[in-house]
């Protein structure tokens, strides 16, 4: 593996572990030339997943688009980049396990909202406002009140 810092042709694996239930291998590497460390990931090559957009066009699944949306929703929130990567991994794996070759973008959006709702409610509301194209304050209030009701129900309180 080429060093991303100095471009040396080789690197030494210093730690290797399975992640995502063995579907991915995380390797910590060290460059023998500049002695800097970096992380690489190996994943199974899967059948390409295609996304059906709202306008009917199709494009290849791009995990970076999901990650960018998550990063915007979680900006200035106590959520690590590792947690966001894990969400994208989970969504991609779930779609593959469900047997999709083509998936509507709405299905992906709903999965993202599901994961964010469990992770960070503020990020969830941010993402939902863009994804569902909120037009007024009432739509914000509706989603915030539903979160409040769910939270109170889980605590055994009534609203």
| Within a domain: 73 | yes
Q: Regarding beta strands 50-52 and 102-104, do their DSSP bridges make them parallel or antiparallel, or are they unpaired?
A: parallel
Q: What percent of the chain has pLDDT over 70?
A: 95
Cα torsion angle, 7, 13, 17, 23, sign: positive
92 found inside a domain: yes
| Claim to verify: residue 56 and residue 110 sit in the same structural domain | yes
Distance set, CA 17 to CA 41, 54, 121, 148 (Å): 10, 39, 32, 40
Query: What's the Cα-to-Cα distance from 44 to each of 23, 25, 96, rounded to whole Å?
Result: 6, 9, 12
The 24-30 sheet, strands edge to edge: 12-19, 24-30, 37-43
| Element holding 108 (H helix, E strand) | helix 105-119
Domain co-membership, 28 together with 77 = no
Q: Tell me the three state secondary structure of residue 98.
A: coil
> Which tens digits make up the pLDDT trace of 52-109?
999 999 999 999 999 999 999 999 999 999 999 999 999 988 998 888 789 999 999 9
Same domain? 66 vs 86: yes
Residues 136 and 68 in one domain: yes
pLDDT confidence bin for 159, thresholds 50/70/90: very low
Would you say residue 3 lies in a domain? no
Q: Is the pLDDT of residue 112 over 80?
A: yes
Number of domains making up the chain: 2
Residues 103 and 151 in one domain: yes
Residue 1 in any domain: the answer is no
Indicate whether 55 and 33 sit together in one domain: no
> Which residue range forms the structural domain that includes residue 66?
47-155
């Amino acid at each position: 593996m080429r060093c991303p810092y100095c471009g040396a042709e080789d690197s030494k694996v210093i730690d290797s572990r399975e992640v995502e239930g063995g579907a991915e291998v995380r390797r910590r590497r060290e460059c023998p030339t500049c002695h800097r460390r970096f992380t690489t990931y190996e994943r199974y090559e899967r059948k390409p997943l295609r996304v059906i957009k709202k306008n009917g066009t199709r494009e290849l699944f791009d995990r970076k688009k999901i990650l960018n949306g998550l990063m915007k929703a979680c900006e200035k929130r106590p959520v690590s980049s590792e947690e966001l990567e894990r969400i994208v991994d989970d969504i991609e794996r779930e779609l593959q396990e469900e047997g999709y070759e083509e998936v509507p973008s709405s299905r992906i959006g709903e999965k993202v909202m599901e994961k964010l709702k469990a992770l960070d409610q503020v990020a969830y509301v941010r993402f939902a406002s863009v994804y569902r194209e909120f037009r007024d304050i009432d739509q914000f209030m509706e989603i915030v009140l539903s979160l409040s009701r769910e939270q109170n129900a889980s605590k055994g309180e009534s609203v």
